[in-house]
Structure 1
Amino acid sequence: MELSVYLILLTGSVLRLLLFDTDIAVWLSDRNELSTPVTSWKRLTEGLTLTRLGISPYDGDVYHEAPLTLAFWDKMDQLFGSSIKYLFIISDFLIGVLLYKIGTLFASQVLNEQNKEAATYHPTAIEIIIKNETVRTNRLYTVAAYMLNPICIASCVARSTGILNNLAIVLSFHSALRRNRLWMCISIAGATYLSLYPIVLLIPLTIYLSRKDEEETKTIKHIKIYSFFQSLIACISFFGILLYFSHQIEGNWKFLHCTFGFILNAPDHSPNYGIFWYFFTELFEHFRLFFVCVFQIHAFLYVLPLSCRLVADPFFAAYLSIAFTCVFKSYPSYGDMALWGSMIFLWSHTFRHLRSSFLSLITLIVATILGPVLWHLWMYAGSANANFYFASSLAISAAQVFIIFDLLFAYQKRKLELKMGVKQKGPDGKPVKYYLE
């Protein structure tokens, strides 16, 4: 790795370490934007206490993470005690390293594809060709956007257990790029086990791996289909193994309702930056099941059309799918948003084609900052109400959706201009306008 990467990783780790021993860490651990009912460190410690007292943590309504997660943190707490904070720093450090490696592998892949297709490019497309210097800076920006991101630092210091989920997601992307089927399946199964929503990675990443197998092994008939189902069965098998060991620990299947059931039913209406809590607080109970299904389907719905539309680039489809889940999941956190936000720099070569990126980004930043402010005005000053806080949450979600669709538009427009030429004009002599359909 380059010296600049080491400096970024070291700086980010030191900042996290320094903040862990301050009062800020205590304040951050109570922030509902950073810790959700399924990633809260305080809920985890209460679950540990109940387990050590011989009481099932799933008998109440406090702990909603998986049994193996609880067993893992129980073991870590016994081994490290108060030094357990270093595990969060190490996890973030590993995510930073993996993001750099993803950037390196992705850059190599993009440049190889560009060299293969260069003969088909329009002569005027020379200005949008990806250069070696561009891909080098892309991976630096990706690492810096995660390690030096105030939101990522705050999530780490708040001891949000969602860091493990982010680590599993990043590992699945890295394993797919390396064509390591075993680790890709393990990481997807692990991420799904931790928070359910990463199951959307299953289809696009298995398609990605099957396409790579087809490109390199043209002698075996139907290798693409075989590779796809091999990955699919492996992921399902690893997920089943995790559920089996969870059952062995608990002795029953009650944990399914208290973990995955809790995520899907969203019974906890504690305010967060998501869109579930406010709507279901106001909703009549007999309409609840229908609207829960309507809301939840948005987190999973887009993976199929994206995988079909972007079948030539399933890695990009996987990225967009995980970004959508971060917006539409029942208990989102700022840490979820920061992960896909840092990876967006992998596609910085499409930024020149973005349409409303500045407005969306400013909206996202302002709404993110306003969230804690409006929370204070609502809960402590008494000069605001739930509508104010939900307005900031809705603005954050809307801004993320605009950014995702804008990136998809920019990606498709660049591909079209590579073939048709840059700044094409129509029969009327005016510049051609593109629309995403």
Structure 2
Amino acid sequence: MAEEEPCMFWIWAMASTIFRLFLIFFFPENINASSRPELSTPLTSLRRLAEGYWLKQSSLSPYAGSMYHGSPLLLSILGPLTIQRIEGKSSHHLCRYPPLWRYCCSCAPVESFHNTFLCWLINFSDRKFGCHCVSFWSITRRVPLAAFGLVMATHLSLYSATLAIPLIFLLGYGLDAPPVKKFLQTRHVGVETTGSTSDVSKQDKLTQTTQLFLWRTVLYFVFWVLVWSSYVLVLCSLSLKQYGGLEEMFKRTYGFILRIEDLSPNIGVFWYFFAEVFDFSRNYLLIVFNLYILLTGIPPLAFRLKHRPCFLAFAYLAFSSILKSYPSVGDAALYLSLWALFVNELTDMEHSFFIFCGYIGFSLLSPVMHNIWIWRGTGNANFYFGNAMGYACFQYMFVEKSVNAMLNHDQALKKATSEMTKN
């Protein structure tokens, strides 16, 4: 099995490369996936990045005109690719289909982090880069690199900061495992039946070792997070020294995310809601929606799934993909690539075929509704918003059923272990 896994990884890597090259060189020019609202957002649009790079080259603030809202560091890394040309085509053609690339990678049936690690090798213009770094380097317990991935993911997208919680659990407790408390209870029953002094001493040692939390590793991780954060902030400050500094960056990036200033259509649900809401209640509703993620999603899941930090990271990514300001199908590809790690535990997931059909159906209907509304003029915004609502509902159902299936799996392990102890 260990020998087959690298082979399957390279097979899917070659297949994804061929698929991407086919899309780039054989599709007509008028089919540009980077302009689709399902694939491109105001935070990840290459066109907006090209606009910001042009403004900076013209000695203006890259955030002038409210076009670019990404990291100033990306302007130095990806900005030159938007103006250079390769054989008569601009280099941004090489990045025309990043979400489709991530979908192809996430569909690879490889139960490891190789498929997620492969995704960021090509596209690192948004939070996917940092999330894949976090997942790969935290599993290998490379604490400085895992801290770097978390800092970059948070820098590129504010919602990735929630990954700090599962990452601390992962470094403190280790990889996903059934709840220690359940096995301690069942083994304690076995000790009481035997009544042996040696068994009791072994049980005490087991309790002490299994409940150990690696505080030194976590503090080491926090230290590196502070180091990388300071380094990134210094670089951003130097990059924007003449254009307002860090205050301007925070206002144009994180403030843009939290205030939901851009109401262009996307596959989320906030754009339509805040386009219709009254101005005097906008600030109140912004606070409610932003706090909803913090209060109702993060604490309960962290308390219930702290023994499974990898699955907790999947739940956080999926939950934030539903309620974030500017979602795209690339966010779904990100958490679906992590979902493949828990195929064995989620074999008894309910309504899986229904949810799969809903995903496919609403994904196919999205461009149809957008065409009916924008280009044909035979529909209105309710068509596209209704499709976005259905897509969000199926995502929520997918997360809810996945969490229930994981909790039921832990209960089944507890029952099986207790029966073995009695026998």
Q: What TM-score do you get using the length of structure 1 for normalisation? A: 0.76
Change (3 A) 1:142 1:361: farther
Pick aligned residue for 1:9 from 9, 13, 28: 13
Pick aligned residue for 2:311 from 309, 316, 336: 316
Q: Secondary structure at 2:327's aligned position in 1?
A: coil
Change (3 A) 1:223 1:379: closer
What is the aligned partner in structure 1 of residue 340 from structure 2?
A: 345
Q: What are the Cα deviations for residues 117-166 of structure 1, in whole angstroms up to 9, with x where unaligned?
A: xxxxxxxxxxxxxxxxxxxx6528984x998xxxx9xx99xx9x665421
For the pair 1:239 / 2:229, whether they are aligned, the reply is yes
Pick aligned residue for 1:256 from 250, 257, 265: 250
Q: How does 1:59-98 map to 2 (within 5 A)?
A: 59-75=64-80, 82-83=90-91, 85-86=93-94
Pick aligned residue for 1:373 from 362, 368, 371: 368
What is the aligned partner in structure 2 of residue 111 from structure 1?
A: none
Given residue 315 of structure 2, which amino acid in structure 1 is its aligned partner?
L
Higher deviation after alignment, 331-340 or 343-352? 343-352
**For residues 98 and 393 of structure 2, what CA distance do their matches in structure 1 show?**
33
**For residues 90 and 378 of structure 1, what CA distance do their matches in structure 2 show?**
25
**For residues 349 and 208 of structure 1, what CA distance do their matches in structure 2 show?**
20
**For residues 91 and 35 of structure 1, what CA distance do their matches in structure 2 show?**
8
Given residue 24 of structure 2, which amino acid in structure 1 is its aligned partner?
F
Q: Secondary structure at 2:346's aligned position in 1?
A: helix
Is residue 95–residue 170 contact of structure 1 (8 Å, CA) maintained in 2?
A: no
What is the aligned partner in structure 1 of residue 272 from structure 2?
A: 278
**For residues 146 and 396 of structure 1, what CA distance do their matches in structure 2 show?**
27
Is residue 72–residue 236 contact of structure 2 (8 Å, CA) maintained in 1?
A: yes
What is the aligned partner in structure 1 of residue 111 from structure 2?
A: 139
Change (3 A) 1:96 1:191: farther
Given residue 17 of structure 1, which amino acid in structure 2 is its aligned partner?
L
Change (3 A) 1:189 1:336: same
Q: What are the Cα deviations for residues 78-113 of structure 1, in whole angstroms up to 9, with x where unaligned?
A: 88864465578899989999x89xx9xxxxxxxxxx
* RMSD after superposition: 3.5
Q: How does 1:25-424 map to 2 (within 5 A)?
A: 26-75=31-80, 82-83=90-91, 85-86=93-94, 138-139=110-111, 143=115, 164-212=126-174, 224-251=214-241, 252=245, 253-301=247-295, 302-421=297-416
**For residues 285 and 413 of structure 1, what CA distance do their matches in structure 2 show?**
45
Q: What are the Cα deviations for residues 365-413 of structure 1, in whole angstroms up to 9, with x where unaligned?
A: 1111111100100111111111110011011111011111101111111
Given residue 382 of structure 1, which amino acid in structure 2 is its aligned partner?
G
Is residue 130–residue 153 contact of structure 2 (8 Å, CA) maintained in 1?
A: yes
Is residue 264–residue 296 contact of structure 1 (8 Å, CA) maintained in 2?
A: yes
**For residues 146 and 102 of structure 2, what CA distance do their matches in structure 1 show?**
16
Given residue 411 of structure 1, which amino acid in structure 2 is its aligned partner?
M
**For residues 39 and 80 of structure 1, what CA distance do their matches in structure 2 show?**
21
Change (3 A) 1:408 1:186: same
Q: Secondary structure at 1:349's aligned position in 2?
A: coil
Change (3 A) 1:59 1:16: same
Is residue 353–residue 410 contact of structure 1 (8 Å, CA) maintained in 2?
A: yes
Q: How does 1:17-28 map to 2 (within 5 A)?
A: 17-21=21-25, 22-23=27-28, 26-28=31-33
What is the aligned partner in structure 2 of residue 108 from structure 1?
A: none
Is residue 95–residue 167 contact of structure 1 (8 Å, CA) maintained in 2?
A: no
**For residues 299 and 71 of structure 1, what CA distance do their matches in structure 2 show?**
33
**For residues 357 and 63 of structure 1, what CA distance do their matches in structure 2 show?**
39
Task: Return 5+ residue gaps in structure 1 as ranges.
Answer: 104-136, 425-437
Max radius of gyration: which structure? 2
Change (3 A) 1:93 1:331: closer
**For residues 191 and 140 of structure 1, what CA distance do their matches in structure 2 show?**
20
**For residues 170 and 227 of structure 1, what CA distance do their matches in structure 2 show?**
20
**For residues 415 and 68 of structure 2, what CA distance do their matches in structure 1 show?**
55
Number of residue pairs matched by the alignment:
373
**For residues 124 and 362 of structure 2, what CA distance do their matches in structure 1 show?**
22
Higher deviation after alignment, 25-34 or 262-271? 25-34
**For residues 117 and 100 of structure 2, what CA distance do their matches in structure 1 show?**
9
Q: What TM-score do you get using the length of structure 2 for normalisation? A: 0.79
CA positional deviation for 1:305: 2.1
Given residue 368 of structure 1, which amino acid in structure 2 is its aligned partner?
S
Q: Secondary structure at 2:32's aligned position in 1?
A: helix
Is residue 188–residue 198 contact of structure 1 (8 Å, CA) maintained in 2?
A: yes
Is residue 271–residue 278 contact of structure 1 (8 Å, CA) maintained in 2?
A: yes
**For residues 172 and 344 of structure 2, what CA distance do their matches in structure 1 show?**
26
**For residues 98 and 329 of structure 2, what CA distance do their matches in structure 1 show?**
19
Task: Return 5+ residue gaps in structure 2 as ranges.
Answer: 176-204
